Amino acid sequence: MPSSLSKVVTIERHILDNQGQHPGATGRLTSLLYDIALAAKLIARETTRAGIANVLGITSGQNVHGEIQQKLDVYADQVIFRMNDHTGRVCVMASEEHDDLLHIPERYPPGHYVLIYDPLDGSSNIDVNASIGTIFAIHHRITPGDGHGTLEDVLQPGSRLVAAAYVIYGSSTMMVYSTGQGVHGFTLDPSIGEFLLSHPDIRTPSTGKYYSVNQGRQKHWSRGVQRYVAWLQGLDDEGREPLGLRYIGSMIADFHRNLLRGGVFLYPADTGQPSGKLRLTYEAQPLAFIAAQAGGYASDGARDILSIQPENLHQRVPVFMGSRDLVEKAEQFLREDA
Ligand code: AHG
Ligand code: MN
Ligand code: MN
């Protein structure tokens, strides 16, 4: 075999090799992750063709949060559902774009896993050709038997996640996943249509270069958040050098940069949004899982996001995540000003 070939690790091979290490592994999770990767490739194809394929622009629909749905949101939402509704691997799904659970059609067998997803994250960026993403969270079902999944299966703390993944559609398309054995990144090679291992075992620096926040909302922040961000900017008495501000309004893009380079992403509670903006199950839990697996940390300002028991499907949560030292500092400021 040419030596260059031995270096090529497809995502399928990587997932298989990793899952094979689990005693009792059945291959079902491997197949589910591969189904997700396939959905991601389809979305990536539409994303890169968006400008020419007449899929830009809004649909008439609004999602359950009252936000206008973009056409690509709808496409991504449907592709992910269809790739997973018939395989016998998933017992129930939940998408950020739907009020209620997404049930597996009666004609197909329900499976062991629960799939929760944000089909298109950062959708306000679609029309301006900036990076967007998709987020996935996977739980084991907790209801007994092999019938259809229920709300109880979806509302589990992040600490029970079996796997989480995100896809970033940027200057290249990447899929980053964890099954609890570190975080691994793959870059889509469009010429062969495969995700190839490009970032094995990602470790996030314990402190960082960047902070990412919608600074325009500053007047709505609590005193604790104000003081924390001033600290990030080096404006307090410690006289530290400021971190750089990077914020694109696409959490996946902001999170991904900070994961690789070190930094903190925050979307705090404020007077206009008392629980913050981001959703616990679709956005915060899977990224908290990945952050933790890369050696980072995610908090709601007081506790580990992975410890929170969700109470409803579209629950929002304040978010501080990324490099551990920076997130713990946020908790300290918020505690002092509680
Ligand atoms: P979505 O596109 O799934 O609704 O998520 C958008 C989220 C997140 O990606 C981003 O970080 C945040 O909204 C940006 O919000 P602001 O415009 O308030 O900064
Ligand atoms: Mn989102
Ligand atoms: Mn979304």
pLDDT digits (tens, 9 = 90+) for 233-276: 999 888 889 999 999 999 999 999 999 999 999 999 999 999 99
Q: What one-character DSSP code corresponds to residue 114?
A: E
Instruction: Kindly indicate the confidence band of residue 17, based on its pLDDT and cuts at 50, 70 and 90.
Output: confident
Report, as an integer, the average pLDDT of 95-124.
96
Beta carbon of 250 within 6 Å of any ligand 1 atom: yes
Sheet with 263-267, strands from edge to edge, namely 244-245, 210-212, 263-267, 319-322, 297-299
Q: Considering Cα of 282, then 287, then 292, then 294, what sign does the dihedral take?
A: positive
Instruction: Kindly indicate the confidence band of residue 18, based on its pLDDT and cuts at 50, 70 and 90.
Output: confident
Name the residue of 77, 275, 277 whose CB sits within 8 Å of the most ligand 1 atoms, as the mutation to test its pocket.
Answer: 277
Exposure of 180 by Cβ count < 10 A (0-12 exposed, 13-18 middle, 19+ buried)?
middle
Beta carbon of 150 within 6 Å of any ligand 1 atom: no
Q: Measuring from atom 14 of ligand 1, which residue has the nearest CA?
A: 249
* Average pLDDT, rounded, for the chain: 92
Task: Kindly report, residue by residue over 281-328, the tens digit of the pLDDT.
Answer: 999 999 999 999 999 999 999 999 999 999 999 999 999 999 999 999
Does CATH number 3.40.190.80 belong to domain 210-336?
A: yes
> Higher confidence at residue 63 or residue 200?
200
Name the residue of 168, 267, 270 whose CB sits within 8 Å of the most ligand 1 atoms, as the mutation to test its pocket.
Answer: 267
- Predicted confidence at residue 64, as pLDDT, reads 78
- Predicted confidence at residue 58, as pLDDT, reads 65
**What is the per-residue DSSP string for 51-99?**
TTTT--SEEEEE-TTSPEEEHHHHHHHHHHHHHHSSSSSEEEEEETT-S
For the CA of 283, the nearest atom of ligand 1: 3
Does CATH number 3.40.140.10 belong to domain 3-199?
A: no
Given a cut of 80, whether residue 6 has pLDDT beyond it is no
Give the number of the ligand closest to the Cα of residue 67: 1
Given a cut of 70, whether residue 166 has pLDDT beyond it is yes
Q: Measuring from atom 7 of ligand 1, which residue has the nearest CA?
A: 122
Residues of the chain by 3-state class (helix, strand, coil), percent to 5: 35, 25, 40
Gap from CA of 122 to ligand 2 centroid (Å)? 6
Gap from CA of 120 to ligand 2 centroid (Å)? 6
Instruction: Kindly indicate the confidence band of residue 55, based on its pLDDT and cuts at 50, 70 and 90.
Output: low
Given a cut of 80, whether residue 10 has pLDDT beyond it is yes
What percent of the chain has a predicted confidence (pLDDT) above 70? Answer: 92
> Higher confidence at residue 222 or residue 55?
222
For the CA of 249, the nearest atom of ligand 1: 14
Given a cut of 80, whether residue 70 has pLDDT beyond it is no
Q: End-to-end CA distance of the chain, in Å?
A: 62
- Predicted confidence at residue 48, as pLDDT, reads 81
Beta carbon of 73 within 6 Å of any ligand 1 atom: no
Gap from CA of 218 to ligand 3 centroid (Å)? 24
Given a cut of 90, whether residue 71 has pLDDT beyond it is no
For the CA of 96, the nearest atom of ligand 1: 3
Where do the structural domains in the chain lie, given as residue ranges? 3-199, 210-336
Buried b (16+ CB within 10 A) or exposed e, 13-48: ebbbebbeeeeeeeebbbbbbbbbbbbbbebbebbe
